[in-house]
Chains A and B, each alone.
Chain A
Amino acid sequence: PSPQPPSAEGDSIKVYVRVRPPVKGTALFNDGDQGQCLSVISSNAVRLNSKPEPKIFTYDHVADIHTTQESVFSVVAKGIIESCMNGYNGTIFAYGQTGSGKTFTMLGPSDDSDNFTHNLRGVIPRSFEYLFYLISREKEKAGDGKDFLCKCSFIEIYNEQIYDLLDPASSGLFLRENIKTGVFVEGVIERVVTSAAEAYQVLSMGWRNRSVASTSMNRESSRSHAVFTVTIESKEKISNLFNIRTSQLNLVDLAGSERQRDTRAEGVRLKEASSINRSLSCLGNVIMGLIDVASGKNRHICYRDSKLTFLLRDSLGGNAKTYIIANVHPGSRCFGETLSTLQFARRAKLIKNKATVNEATQGSLG
Chain B
Amino acid sequence: AELSDHGGLDLLFCHPLPVVVPTATQAEQPHPHAGGGAGGPGGGPGGQGQQLAVLEYLLGLNHVETEELSAGEEHLSQCVSLLQEHRLSRQTVSVYTEAENQLGILWAGLGEIEKAQKYLEDAEALYNQYMREIGTAPYDPQEHFMAEEEMLSEQERHKRFEKVATQTLYYLAQVYKHLDMDEKAARYCHTTLQRQLETRDYNPVEWTINAATLSQYYISKELYMEARLCLAGATVIFEELGDVSLESAAEELAGEDAVHLHEQNLHDWLGQKKSDISRCWIKYCLFLLQDSRKLLEDDIAELDPERQDELRAQQAREEEEKERGRKKAVQFGSSETFDSILSAEEKVTCLYPVDFQSARQVFLFGQSHVLESKKFFQLDGHTRDHVEVVQDHSALFKALAFFEEDHERRCKMHKRRVDMLEAVHKELNPQYYLLVCRQLQFEIADAYYQMMMLKVTIANGLEDLDQRNIKKINHLAHAAISSYQLFLDSLRDADKQFPSELESDVLRPALFAKFRMGYLHNKIITAEPRGQLENTQNSLDCYSFVVDYCQSHEEAIAAVEMELELCTEMTGLLAARVKQLRAKLLAEP
- A residues engaging B (CB < 8 A)? 1-2, 4-11, 86-89, 159-161, 171-172, 174, 176-183, 247, 267-273, 276-284, 286-291, 293-295, 297-304, 313-314, 318-319, 352-353, 355-361, 363-366
Q: For residue B447, which residue of chain A has the nearest CB? A: A359
* Given A270-B171, A287-B213, A359 and B442 contact (CB-CB distance below 8 Å): yes
For A353, the chain B residues whose CB sits under 8 A away are: 435, 505
Contacts of A283 in B (CB 8 A): 170, 173, 189, 192-193, 210
* Residue contact B213 to A87, C-beta cutoff 8 Å: no
Extra 18 A-B pairs, beta carbons < 8 Å, given A8-B499, A160-B257: A1-B426, A4-B429, A9-B494, A9-B499, A11-B503, A88-B431, A160-B256, A272-B105, A279-B255, A281-B206, A284-B209, A286-B185, A289-B177, A291-B220, A302-B212, A357-B487, A359-B442, A360-B509
Contact of A179 among B111, B177, B428, B516 (CB under 8 A): B428
Distance of A294 Cα from B217 Cα, bound (Å): 7
- Please determine whether B431 and A270 come into contact, CB atoms closer than 8 angstroms: no
Assuming the contacts A176-B382, A281-B256, A297-B287, asked whether A7 and B109 have C-beta atoms less than 8 A apart, the reply is: no
Q: Are A180 and B429 in contact (CB under 8 A)?
A: yes
- B283 close to A6 (CB less than 8 A): no
Q: Which residues of A contact B566 (CB under 8 A)?
A: 365
* B196 on the A face (CB < 8 A): yes
**Interfacial chain B residues near A284, Cβ < 8 Å:** 206, 209-210, 213
Residues of A close to B436: CB separation below 8 A = 355
Nearest CB of B to A183, in Å? 8
Whether B206 pairs with A363 at a CB distance below 8 angstroms is no
B213 to nearest A CB, angstroms? 5
Asked if B430 contacts A268 (CB within 8 A), the reply is: no
Category for how many chain B residues contact A: 35 or more
Question: A6, A174, A284: which has the most chain B beta carbons within 10 Å?
Answer: A6
B508 x A270 contact (CB < 8 A): no
Pair A6/B490 contact, Cβ less than 8 Å: yes
Q: Which DSSP category, helix, strand, loop or mixed, fits chain B's interface?
A: helix
Interface of A is mostly: loop
B236 contacts the other chain (CB 8 A): no
Query: Which of A271, A290, A355: most chain B Cβ within 10 A?
Result: A290
Q: Given A8-B492, A297-B219, A365-B562, is A280 in contact with B439 using a C-beta cutoff of 8 Å?
A: no
With A359-B442, A360-B512 in contact, is A8–B493 under 8 Å at CB? yes
Q: Which 5 A-B pairs have the closest CB atoms?
A: A182-B432, A9-B493, A294-B220, A177-B383, A357-B509
Residue of B nearest to A267 (CB): B111
Q: Which residues of B contact A281 (CB under 8 A)?
A: 206, 255-256
**Minimum distance in angstroms from A318 CB to a CB of chain B:** 7
Tell me, in angstroms, the Cα distance from A2 to B496 when the chains sit together. 16
Closest chain-A Cβ to B352's Cβ sits at a distance in Å of 15
* A-facing residues in B92-137 (Cβ within 8 Å): 104-105, 108-109, 111, 113, 116
- B165-190 at interface with A (beta carbon < 8 Å): 166-167, 170-171, 173-175, 177-178, 182, 185-186, 189
Give the shortest distance, in Å, between A36 (CB) and chain B (any CB): 27
Contact residues of B between 449 and 486, Cβ < 8 Å to A: 449, 453
Interface residue stretch chosen among B24-32, B273-281, B330-338: B273-281
Q: B185 near A269 (CB under 8 angstroms)?
A: no
B20 to chain A, nearest CB (A): 33
Most buried by A among B185, B193, B435, B490: B435
Q: State in angstroms the CA–CA spacing of A2 and B265 once bound together.
A: 32
Q: Contact partner of B174 among A86, A161, A282, CB < 8 A?
A: A282
Kindly state whether residue B144 has any CB partner on chain A within 8 Å.
no
Contact B170 A299, beta carbon cutoff 8 Å: no
Whether A357 pairs with B506 at a CB distance below 8 angstroms is yes
Confirm or deny: B83 has a beta carbon within 8 angstroms of a beta carbon on chain A.
no
A-chain residues with CB within 8 Å of residue B277 when the two chains form the complex: 302
Docked Cα-Cα span, A268 to B108, in Å, equals 6
B446 lies within 8 A of A363 (CB): yes
Q: From residue B250, how far is it (CB to closest CB) to chain A in Å? A: 12
Residues of A within 8 A of B185 (CB): 286, 290
